Structure 1
């Protein structure tokens, strides 16, 4: 019998969008419970760690967005074909997470002087390091995917990161990363992802 999935997250993309992309890519039905911020105080105490997102699998609750994404990737055959593939994907996703955390810290920094310093470090050090590594991975893989010859959750994490950086004020110029630009077009043009992106709710983040 098919598992019953209920995914709980705020009505934004944020750090909880990759699992939704995984459900879309796999064509697996689930309940997308989008929680409004005004309702959060009444819901917080019912969550596993007092935070979102969390995933219900046949009634069992599991927190942590990356752990959820990795589980769904394995469940849906989107985690690579070998343990070495999984390692490559994990390394790439770890780099993306570090960059995402830096972008979020910078975006919400209130001190303008400190924000300028964070922006300088982000654009001159962190972003080139992360996307240079990703560009190299794409250059070494003729399929156009990050790892192997088929879609994995690493590809979905990358298009989600691209989206977030653009929402935060076009923090990346994809013209500097031609392989990444081609990758984004390839993944977003795939039928299931294209359909999902076309119909997902429009949110601020």
Structure 2
């Protein structure tokens, strides 16, 4: 019975973590908001034990921080944080794209191409669909690179850039479609150098687009 209860608590903690992570990434829990543990637990319908576990994980990942009064708050992603994260992505993602070129499966490439076509064909695509495609492409490249350290770095750095963009509504309605088409074309051609260059251009354009708003 104890093992079953432990397993249930672990599952609840994982579910709670994923729910809170999505709320932070989507800016439902905005930067600077004070975390009210009891209220969050009641809203998500979980006990305080899995809630504390989930909050501890998010704090360990730097997405929750302590303010001057030692209260747990959602981290505010500054422009400096954003640019530093993009710099890390520029160091890692072009290489990940090159390494993924011979490894990404045809089925995964077809899935990504279908997602991109769906966005292109929709005059007013759901923003959630755009973010799902962006996640699938960038994280998929990290996974296909065969380097787990690269994959984890991409996940972590993209969390910061995603929070910044979504909280400030900087993403365009159909952002970077041409860039994404170029990246997918390079992957489909198994051209590692073209994939590297396409990813570099894409991230540089993202940086310039954000800087132009300041």
What TM-score results when the alignment is normalised by the length of structure 1? Answer: 0.32
More strand by share: 1
Point out the structure with max Rg over C-alpha: 2
More helix by share: 2
